[in-house]
């Protein structure tokens, strides 16, 4: 099996450096035409220059690939729409979107300003929303699309000093979950990558010898599996230092309390049963939780489930 993207067009945001650059180079090396998007700012989002994106394009072209540079700010929907239009005008389609652009403004919650909190959420969450919104009707019309969000262990598990970053990174998982449902009939698969790599975001935080193990290329190997025609759907793929795993959200079976017993004291008294993982299930849509709870209540009252 060989994973290829011949004849396909990919947009990679934040592709001037680090993971995004690695993603763009690898997609191009396997046949994709690539829009290399990068605002060209610092890690905290300040500044801007299209130079970094242009340099990546030069590398792709030197290797025999096709690419175009774009400096759109992903938080600006008009700029994002113009970027997508440029891609359509040049190549006529968009098959892959990798939402990779991001910034850091780390501080403990007590010290972080609301403006810094909002900006980080705006770049990671709304940047992903804007880019996905711009390509979604194209992918629907094509009856094909592959969208990848970039989440983080900081969002799924927490990390000191990253309430803003963590909130945004968990939010894109929720965004993904509903897009999966809405995109299914149009053959649009939506997944998330949770990377850990030795990028400039980690400089000064991790010893140099450890950073060497955390290559961006090892993460990109995982990313590529989320972009082709055989890509999974609704998968959170974790990748770093040559390790690959998935994060999945499960819900315990839980308990049922009759109306006369529905008090906080009784919930607390049975918390061990509430948390018991025996019989836990992977929930793939919000109504499944509702159906489970309603079924327990109907069973208690002897109400038969309606036949469908």
Residue with token string 């005008």:
89
Q: Answer whether 104's CB lies under 8 Å from 97's CB.
A: no
d(CA 69, CA 295): 54
Q: Which of the following is catalytic: 5, 144, 157, 165?
A: 165
**Does 256 qualify as catalytic in the annotation?**
no
Catalytic residues, which ones? 165
């Amino acid at each position: 099996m060989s994973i290829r993207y011949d004849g396909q067009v990919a947009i990679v945001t934040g592709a001037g450096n680090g993971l995004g650059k690695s993603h763009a180079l690898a997609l191009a090396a396997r046949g994709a035409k690539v829009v290399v998007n990068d605002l060209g700012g610092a890690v905290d989002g300040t500044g801007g220059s299209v130079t970094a994106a242009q340099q990546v394009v030069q590398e792709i072209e030197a290797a025999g690939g096709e690419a175009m540079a774009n400096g759109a700010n992903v938080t600006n929907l008009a700029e994002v729409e113009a970027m997508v239009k440029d891609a359509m005008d040049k190549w006529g389609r968009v098959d892959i979107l990798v939402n990779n652009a991001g910034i850091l403004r780390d501080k403990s919650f007590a010290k972080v300003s609301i403006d810094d909190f909002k900006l980080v959420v705006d770049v990671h969450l709304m940047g992903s929303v804007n880019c996905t919104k711009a390509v979604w009707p194209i992918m629907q019309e094509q009856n094909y699309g592959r969208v990848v969000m970039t989440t983080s262990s900081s969002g799924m598990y927490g990390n000191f000093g990253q309430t803003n970053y963590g909130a945004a990174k968990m939010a894109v998982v929720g965004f993904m979950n509903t897009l999966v449902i809405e995109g299914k009939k149009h053959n649009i698969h939506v997944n998330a990558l949770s990377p850990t790599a030795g990028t400039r975001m980690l400089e000064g935080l991790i010893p140099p010898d450890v950073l060497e193990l955390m290559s961006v290329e090892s993460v990109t190997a995982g990313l590529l599996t989320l972009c082709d025609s055989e890509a999974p759907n609704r998968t959170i793929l974790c990748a770093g230092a040559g390790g690959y795993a998935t994060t999945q959200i499960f819900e315990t079976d839980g308990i049922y309390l009759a109306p006369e017993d529905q008090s906080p004291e009784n919930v607390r008294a049975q918390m061990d049963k509430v948390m018991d993982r025996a019989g836990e299930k992977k929930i793939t849509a919000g109504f499944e939780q509702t159906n489970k709870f309603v079924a327990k209540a109907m069973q208690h009252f002897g109400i038969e489930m309606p036949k469908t």
